[in-house]
């Protein structure tokens, strides 16, 4: 009997038809798909064994037959309230789809921050000719510290190494091969061999003290919320910049504002935030040492993103049908927010 799959993401027809042609799967496609949680028809979803979505429906409890949920995002906080491990439901995420564009954003922000491109653009707007040395720095030879060495961190390391930066990594349990985790062919550091130095538990302050750039590349969990506070920000050199394409609340909001205002650090590039959208009166908007982008570093509207997402799902559907390990599978501890 064919495995019924409920699809609530944009479809790549060729990928769906390829799976259908195997005879192993049947599909119900929600049209239009939504990147939001909302109720779906209870009868339609009751017998689906697989859900492919961004957010589970608000009436997820009506999915009586579900055994596997594939989400399109790398973050998975939207799964926390559904008690998947207790129901025996497996879950996989979109790790790997975002690695290339976010790593490119990281490198772009490092160059932009080092050369103060924000001020150069403002100068252009008012026809100011200023050739100060602050605009003429290069990043080759600087040290980038990556906190969390998943796919985004590994692709950032690969790009940074080609540009001549030194790579320091903080990873709680060290660095090694990634195993059953998707990455775009030709990218990443799947074997974990690129870092020049690796720091583990207890080495946080030593790790931070030697950086020119700190890139956050870890998920938001109960343990990582507020992870970066005054202690960590003061440990950074005053020349250092912090880049957050991960999740806003990983950095304590008031501590960050204070660090930037009082120049404990040189600046920040922020793609993830404390409010969506950030209110116009928020002080971060007007800080001259901050670049803010509206959570677009993952480029989820690009054609490449959807293609890579369906690459993951196609591979996982075949693995699921064959009883093999799934790519990007989340552990019960992760699904509990640990």
Task: Give long-range contacts, CB 8 A cutoff, 24+ apart: 34-39.
Answer: 34/8, 37/78
Task: Centre a 10 Å sphere on the Cβ of residue 274 and count the other Cβ atoms it contains.
Answer: 16
The answer to whether 76 touches 54, Cβ cutoff 8 Å, is no
β-bridge partners, 143 = 166
- Which tokens go with 45? 């979803």
Q: What is the DSSP string of 195-255?
A: -SEEE-TT-HHHHHHT-SEEEE-----TTTTT-B-HHHHHHS-TT-EEEE-S-GGGB-HHH
Catalytic residues, by residue number, are 247, 295
The answer to whether 73 touches 93, Cβ cutoff 8 Å, is yes
Distances (CA, A) of 102 to 157, 293, 305: 12, 12, 11
- Which tokens go with 67? 């055994």
């Amino acid at each position: 009997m064919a495995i019924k799959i409920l699809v609530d993401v944009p479809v790549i027809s060729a990928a769906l038809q390829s799976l259908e042609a195997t005879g192993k799967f049947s599909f119900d496609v929600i049209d239009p798909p939504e990147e939001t949680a909302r109720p779906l028809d209870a009868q339609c979803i009751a017998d689906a064994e697989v859900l492919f979505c961004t957010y589970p429906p608000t009436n997820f409890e009506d999915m009586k037959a579900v055994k596997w949920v594939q989400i399109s995002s790398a973050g998975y906080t939207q799964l926390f309230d559904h008690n998947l491990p207790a129901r025996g439901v497996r879950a996989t995420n979109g790790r790997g789809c975002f690695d290339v564009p976010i790593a490119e954003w990281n490198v772009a922000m490092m160059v932009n921050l080092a050369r103060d491109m924000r001020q150069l653009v403002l100068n252009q707007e008012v026809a100011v000719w200023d050739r100060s040395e602050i605009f003429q720095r290069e990043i080759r030879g600087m040290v980038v510290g990556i906190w969390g060495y998943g796919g985004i961190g590994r692709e950032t390391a690969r790009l940074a190494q080609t540009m001549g930066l030194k790579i320091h990594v903080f990873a709680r349990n060290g660095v090694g091969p990634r195993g059953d985790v998707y990455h775009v062919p030709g990218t990443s550091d799947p074997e974990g061999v690129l870092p020049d130095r690796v720091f583990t538990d207890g080495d946080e302050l030593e790790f931070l003290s030697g950086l020119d750039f700190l890139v956050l590349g870890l998920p938001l969990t109960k343990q990582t919320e507020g992870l970066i506070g005054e202690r960590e920000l003061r440990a950074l050199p005053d020349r250092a910049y912090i880049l957050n394409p991960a999740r806003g609340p990983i950095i304590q909001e008031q501590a960050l504002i204070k660090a930037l205002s009082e120049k404990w650090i040189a600046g920040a590039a922020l793609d993830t935030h404390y409010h969506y959208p950030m209110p116009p009166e928020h002080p971060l908007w007007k800080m001259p040492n901050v670049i803010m982008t509206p959570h677009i570093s993952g480029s989820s509207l690009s054609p490449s993103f959807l293609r890579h997402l369906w690459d993951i799902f196609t591979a996982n559907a075949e693995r699921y049908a064959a009883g093999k390990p799934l790519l990007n599978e989340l552990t019960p501890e992760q699904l509990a927010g640990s």
